[in-house]
A and B are shown apart, each in its own frame.
Chain A
């Protein structure tokens, strides 16, 4: 079963606009991660936010975490056509936190 669920499933925007993707999860976490997958490729880690953090930035990425609502959001500012990809949130499975469980992802399409 999936721990994280992304919303929306698909998002289409114009270059320069901001893209916001949301993730909800079910159980308590130590951290939450976001990954990106280009078409036909493997997933690549983008950013990790710990449970005691509320917001984190990395370049044009901004991640927020609300543990009381069990939700996170990923904001990509000033999007580019190269940001076109699927984005996944991931949380750890079980107490050991060794394996990651992924949502079904948000497919982002950025048109120029």
Chain B
């Protein structure tokens, strides 16, 4: 079975540009999570969806960040405009419904804003 698929794997962009990160969760998984990882702050939960509906976006750092899940097999995380402090690894993860809350991570999108 395919795991969580993220694209792009690496992106370098200039400050002020729009960045769109994409995620395809594991088929049949009802929950989708976006995390950000930096050396300073570790792994931070940004937002998560249940059945395509955003449940908790309290971790989204600023209005420059937005996330959508138009259908069960696709989600985007958008940063507009991007800033150098947004440089990080962005992970998408998913899990099925149920009490066991183990989640499955993608390989991450490495973002560098210069």
Contacts and interface: CB of A to CB of B under 8 A. Distances in A.
B42 A42 contact: no
Interface residues of A, number: 21
- Tell me if B's interface is mostly helix, strand, loop or mixed: strand
Contacts of A48: 100, 102
Contacts of B43: 43, 88, 102, 104-105
Interface residues of B, number: 23
Contacts, number: 51
B104 A45 contact: yes
Interface of B: 4, 31, 33, 35, 42-43, 45, 48, 50, 55-56, 91, 93, 99-108
12 contacts: A33-B101, A41-B107, A42-B93, A42-B108, A43-B43, A88-B43, A93-B45, A93-B56, A97-B101, A98-B50, A98-B101, A104-B43
